[in-house]
């Protein structure tokens, strides 16, 4: 688990560099302290889950890429321009599941609609 956390933090640092966003600027846009941001970038603590989508929005990156390193780092506005980041994450996670689990999820959704 620790390696996964560090991988996410490393991807955060990479995305900040690619976007040209400083720790100070990102911490201000997220409403957190510079110290908290420094612990994330330096891999000394994990990113709190409620900040994942705001980070992705601020850096124009895909949530799935930040969490797993899979897919494109940058948002593909042509593919998902009508969806929120949370909806994109759900779509990508759904696509990664096997057909049995996908069918189970679809059955639950159909029942919820009725």
For residue range 9-37, what is the model confidence (pLDDT) as tens digits?
Answer: 889 999 999 999 999 999 999 999 999 99
Say if residue 79's pLDDT is above 60.
Answer: no
> Could you tell me the sign of the dihedral formed by the alpha carbons of 8, 11, 17, 18, in that order?
negative
Say if residue 113's pLDDT is above 70.
Answer: no
Q: What pLDDT does residue 80 have? A: 52
Per DSSP, the three-state class of 108 is helix
CATH of the domain at 25: 1.10.260.40
- Looking at the 3D structure of the chain, how many domains does it have? 1
With both helix axes pointing from N to C terminus, report the angle between 52-59 and 85-95 in degrees, rounded to the nearest 10: 110
Query: Which domain covers residue 63, as residue numbers?
Result: 2-113
Q: Looking at the DSSP assignment, which residues form a beta bridge with residue 61?
A: 74
For residue range 96-112, what is the model confidence (pLDDT) as tens digits?
Answer: 788 888 788 777 877 77
Q: Which of 8, 19, 95 is nearest to 57 (CA)?
A: 19
Contacts of 86 (CB under 8 A, 6+ apart): 53, 63
Q: What pLDDT does residue 112 have? A: 75
Query: pTM for this structure?
Result: 0.65
């Amino acid at each position: 688990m620790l390696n996964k956390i560090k991988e996410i933090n490393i991807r955060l640092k990479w995305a900040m560099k690619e976007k040209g966003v400083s720790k100070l600027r990102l911490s201000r846009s997220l409403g957190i302290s510079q110290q908290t941001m420094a612990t994330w970038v330096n891999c000394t603590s994990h990113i709190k889950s409620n900040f994942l989508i705001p980070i992705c929005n601020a850096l124009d990156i895909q949530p799935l890429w930040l969490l797993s390193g899979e897919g494109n780092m940058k948002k593909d506005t042509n593919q998902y321009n009508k969806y929120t980041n949370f909806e994109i994450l759900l779509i990508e996670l759904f696509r990664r599941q096997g057909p049995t689990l996908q069918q189970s999820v679809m059955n639950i959704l159909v029942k919820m609609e009725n």
